[in-house]
Structure 1
Amino acid sequence: MNKILVPYDFSELAKHALDFAAQIARKANSETVTLINIIEQPTPSDFKTMGVSAADPMENIWIKKMIEKAEANMEDVMADESFKDITLKYKIVLGNPFQELAEEIKTQGVELVVMGTSGASGAEEFFVGSNAERMVRYSKAPVITVSGPASLDGVNDIVFASNFHEVSGDFIAHVKKLQAMFGAKLRLVKINTPASFTTTRHDKKQMEDFIKEHNLDNCTYETYNFSNEEDGVLAYSEDIGADLIAIGTKQRKGIGHFLAGSIAEDVVNHSKVPVWTFGLENG
């Protein structure tokens, strides 16, 4: 995990994400942790609302001041003694948040994104809501989202929620790396719902075969009955006192399919513990 990217908007949530990323960097001997602050360029309608035309020089002045403020704030972070033991860098770019993050991941070979999210209702922060959800669904690198302070040392039980089919070997390899990094127990769970019911006998054999096929160690497995998959993942995680949730995503909206993008996004939006996501179609 040589390159870690942290979308950074100077909010408390972003600070929690940076702290967790720094812990991971120390543990994994990462090459760099890069903070990226994206200044979204105003559209002509934005300036019209503010009483300034899109062609007005005030646009450039406004952007320049935003950049200067971001640079000053970033330099303060760089000077923080608590990060002196890791290689910390930053970038400030103009553009669409999701597109710029995707480009950074692609061109810089980012291996992990760590970002804050306050859930679907947190519209006042820059890197939450739709941008976080899109990152979870489409990122070409694993994403860890945090909704508050998180400790690396406190991750002992990782819930791995799946339907245990349509899971690529590459995805499992990433899950095993995650488990190894934390030195945690992997708690495999299949959420059984009225809409997608399968028997305990079927699920037991399926998960036992899955564990054997992928050579998983230090793990448990069970089914959990609930009315829907996303709430079932959260309820199960709370019941066992899980420290982190791992769940795969698909880029398409698979209505009726577990592991559809919307399920992972719902888990991210409502989880009280960090959530690790990675696209099942990225491998």
Structure 2
Amino acid sequence: MKKILVPTDFSQEAENALKVAAQIAKKHGSEIYLLHMLEIPMQEIDAVNSHVEVPEVMFFMKMAHKKFEEIMESDYLKDITVHEIVKPEASFNNVTDICHEQGAEIIIMGSHGASGFKEMFVGSNAEKVVRMSDIPVLVIKNEHEEFSIDDLVFASDFKNDSKETYRQASEFATAFGAKVHLLMVNTAGNFTTTKNAKERINTFIEDYSFKNYTINIYNDDSVEKGILNFSKDIDADLIGISTHGRQGIAHFFNGSISEDLVNHANRPVITFKI
């Protein structure tokens, strides 16, 4: 985890993510690539009127650089190598391309999500990144004075096409010294016996040497509620889920979450692409 990409719009949520990235960078000797994307549709610039539009772009570029300079004065970034990236034509859909250009191994970003997984991701900038990213995306909602991971919930259906995500999750857990709680959620519409569920999970993980885990089958009204309720029960530090690329994660969840689950979604979430 030597290179971390942090998209920023200079909001409080983005700074929360940057502070987490800074803690990880100090622990692992990582470099941070701080990315700001100007919300200016360059393709709409009219060549005839470019004398008006281009200076506007330059103005916003300078403003972004000024913001970067202010951030770099923050105490929490002391002794960390931070690279400034400003992209006037970028969108959240091609953050992954920028990530590959820089060789980043993880994306850490903030979310404005108000409640639950669905509200946290669907239609948000975080969801756009998750949908396209083929590297892990760590989504932060709140400020963490001390970001540590002792218990990581890895929720999956434990079918063969998800095995790559477990490899990523176990490597991430190893880096943080965390225990992984393998979780399969049973619902009335998609029920598996405990015996069959455990057999599926054991078959799923048999090729991996990672041993610091527990196996859990949890019954609930929906997969989403099951993940959130189980995570609350064990007071998990992080929730890990698999994604299916262009489908995003909206297909993973059905229905809404009741108000009593809102605060549980404040836990950080990391996604791994199948």
Task: Letter of the 1:19 partner, please give it.
Answer: K
Map 1:108-127 to 2 at 5 A.
108-119=102-113
Give the distance between the partners of 2:3 and 2:82, measured in 1 at CA.
Answer: 10
Aligned to 2:138: 144
Provide closer, same or farther for how the CA distance between residues 110 and 264 of structure 1 changes in structure 2, counting only shifts above 3 A.
farther
Aligned to 2:170: 176
Pairing 1:23–2:23 present? yes
Pairing 1:90–2:92 present? no
Aligned to 2:193: 199
Map 1:21-170 to 2 at 5 A.
21-30=21-30, 32-42=31-41, 55=49, 57-119=51-113, 129-150=123-144, 153-170=147-164
Relative to the length of structure 2, the TM-score reads 0.85
Aligned to 1:256: none
Does structure 1 conserve the Cα–Cα contact (< 8 Å) formed by 2:26 and 2:80?
yes
Provide closer, same or farther for how the CA distance between residues 224 and 80 of structure 1 changes in structure 2, counting only shifts above 3 A.
same
Does structure 1 conserve the Cα–Cα contact (< 8 Å) formed by 2:185 and 2:218?
yes
Q: 1:173 deviation in Å?
A: 2.4
Q: 1:153 deviation in Å?
A: 4.6
Task: Letter of the 2:203 partner, please give it.
Answer: D
Aligned to 1:11: 11
Q: 1:87 deviation in Å?
A: 0.8
Q: Percent identity?
A: 36
Q: 1:243 deviation in Å?
A: 0.7
Task: Letter of the 2:2 partner, please give it.
Answer: N
Relative to the length of structure 1, the TM-score reads 0.82
Give the distance between the partners of 2:250 and 2:221, measured in 1 at CA.
Answer: 18
Q: Aligned residue pairs: how many?
A: 263
Does structure 1 conserve the Cα–Cα contact (< 8 Å) formed by 2:16 and 2:140?
yes
Map 1:248-267 to 2 at 5 A.
248-251=242-245, 253=247, 262-263=251-252
Provide closer, same or farther for how the CA distance between residues 277 and 44 of structure 1 changes in structure 2, counting only shifts above 3 A.
closer
Does structure 2 conserve the Cα–Cα contact (< 8 Å) formed by 1:36 and 1:92?
yes
Out of 212, 220, 228, the position equivalent to 1:218 is: 212
Aligned to 1:124: none
Does structure 1 conserve the Cα–Cα contact (< 8 Å) formed by 2:133 and 2:245?
no
SS of residue in 2 equivalent to 1:55: helix
Structure 1: gaps of 5 or more residues: 122-126, 254-258
Give the distance between the partners of 2:114 and 2:13, measured in 1 at CA.
Answer: 14
Does structure 2 conserve the Cα–Cα contact (< 8 Å) formed by 1:194 and 1:227?
yes
Pairing 1:279–2:273 present? yes
**What per-residue deviation string (whole Å, max 9, x for no partner) do you get for residues 110-163 of structure 1?**
100000011278xxxxx9943210211220211000011135554211000011
Is 13-22 or 212-221 further displaced after alignment? 212-221
SS of residue in 1 equivalent to 2:160: coil
Does structure 2 conserve the Cα–Cα contact (< 8 Å) formed by 1:4 and 1:112?
yes
Provide closer, same or farther for how the CA distance between residues 84 and 232 of structure 1 changes in structure 2, counting only shifts above 3 A.
same
Provide closer, same or farther for how the CA distance between residues 195 and 53 of structure 1 changes in structure 2, counting only shifts above 3 A.
farther
Task: Letter of the 1:40 partner, please give it.
Answer: E
Is 175-184 or 207-216 further displaced after alignment? 207-216
Out of 235, 240, 244, the position equivalent to 2:238 is: 244
SS of residue in 2 equivalent to 1:271: helix
Q: 1:29 deviation in Å?
A: 1.7
SS of residue in 1 equivalent to 2:32: strand
Aligned to 2:2: 2
Give the distance between the partners of 2:250 and 2:103, measured in 1 at CA.
Answer: 23
SS of residue in 2 equivalent to 1:71: helix
